[in-house]
Every structure is written in structure tokens, then in C-alpha cells.
Copies of this chain bind each other. A is one copy, B any other.
Amino acid sequence: MGKIVITVGREYGSGGRFVAKLVADKLGIKFYDKELIALSAQESNMSEKVIEDLDEKAAERFFYALPATGYIPSSSSDFNLTMNDKLFLLQSNVIRNVANKESAVIVGRAADYVLRNNAGVLNVFIHAPLETRVRNAVKNYGLNPVTAEKVVKKTDETRKKYYNYYTGKKWGDLNNYHLTVDSSLGTDATVDVIVAAAKSLITK
């Protein structure tokens, strides 16, 4: 089998992480989500706890202008670098190392953008109608039904800010992805579709 890296962006509550894990299992390749945190900790002086708090979040920046396009600081000694920026750079390196080494499914962290110059990358985005995602979040993550919708929206807002800030592109814009799937089609259908695309690419 040829090498393939599948990046998976996902709306909160869409079950994207679960689907991504099943895809990795079905293709017999590695899976990276929270695993990226441990790897990032190993390669830095940040603790897993600190990284978890910063993970997939852009810093609030009140005092200086946001860059108009993807944020690529010239070096990690840039005096404007926040902890969030440092983690982005660190995780980007971890993601590139993974992609150079092996076939893998990588969840979130703007991996589609990080790997934009790599060949053999399939970029996927998984979404679902809001009401479906709220229901899933209550059922699967034990969210309080009263506040679940707010939490779902807030989490997506954070992911969007992170993605847009570091990539200069729009999270959830179909032009960024080879494939977007509404997971309310069903978990099996969503997995099947991604696996079909991956297999077509591998044998191409």
C-alpha cells in the first residue's frame, strides 16, 4: 500500500474524531489526535497539561494587529510569539515528522494547512446539522442538555479562530477540503466514503 496521510477537520459533536479512528483502523494506519500532545511535550519543555490547555486555541490579541494571512513567524525567538504560537509551531513540526514517516490519520490542528506542500494528503472535513451535534454531545460527552448548544457553538468558534488565524483561510470552507461529509448520513457511510477516497488515492 502506498503512503497516505488523511487530515480530518471536524465540527464539535459531529463524531469526526470517532469516524477518523475507525478510518485509521480500517486502513490499518496510525491515528493522531490527543497523541499529538504527548509527542509535542516530548519535544519541548512544555508539560502535557500546559499543552492541553493551549491546544487548538489562538491567543486573544488585543494589542497588536492580526496578520491578514497565515501566521508564519520568522523564528521561534520572535518576541511577539505567544505560548499558543509556540505550540502551533511545535505541533506543526510534530505533524510534519509524522507525515514524513508513516501513513496516518491526523485530527484537527490545521494539519491540512501544515501539510499543504506534501503529496499524498487527503483533506477531510466532517460536519453535521447543529441539532444533531447537540444531541450527540449530550449523549456521548455527557453535556448538560440546557447548556449543550452553547458549548457546541463555543467550541466550534474556538476551533474556527485557531484555524483561520494560523492558516489565513476559512475553517469549514469546502475549497480547503478534498472531501466534506455530513456525518448524519451515519457513521458507517461516513467511514466508507473516506476509506473509498483513500483507497482510490493510494492506488492512483
Q: Which residues of A contact B (CB under 8 A)?
A: 122, 125, 127, 129, 172-175, 177-182, 184-186, 188-189, 192-193, 195-197, 199-201, 204
Between A and B, 23 residue pairs with Cβ closer than 8 Å are A122-B185, A129-B175, A173-B174, A174-B174, A177-B182, A178-B181, A178-B184, A178-B185, A179-B179, A179-B180, A179-B182, A179-B185, A179-B193, A180-B180, A181-B197, A185-B197, A185-B200, A186-B204, A188-B204, A192-B200, A193-B193, A193-B196, A193-B197
List B contacts of A184 (CB < 8 A).
Answer: 178
List B contacts of A175 (CB < 8 A).
Answer: 127, 129
How many identical subunits does the complex contain?
Answer: 2
Q: Contact: A189 with B182, CB < 8 Å?
A: no
In the bound assembly, the distance between CA atoms of A201 and B190 in angstroms comes to: 10
In the bound assembly, the distance between CA atoms of A186 and B180 in angstroms comes to: 16
CB proximity of A133 to chain B, nearest CB, Å: 12
Given A189-B204, A197-B192, residue A181 in contact with residue B182 (CB < 8 A): no
For A181, the closest partner residue in chain B by CB is B179
In the bound assembly, the distance between CA atoms of A192 and B185 in angstroms comes to: 17
CB proximity of A188 to chain B, nearest CB, Å: 6
For A178, the closest partner residue in chain B by CB is B182
For A130, the closest partner residue in chain B by CB is B175
In the bound assembly, the distance between CA atoms of A185 and B184 in angstroms comes to: 24
CB proximity of A61 to chain B, nearest CB, Å: 28
In the A-B complex, the 9 residue pairs with the smallest Cβ-Cβ separation, listed nearest first, are A189-B200, A196-B196, A180-B180, A178-B182, A174-B174, A174-B180, A192-B196, A193-B197, A192-B200
List B contacts of A199 (CB < 8 A).
Answer: 192
**A174 partner, pick from B172, B178, B200, beta carbons under 8 A:** B172
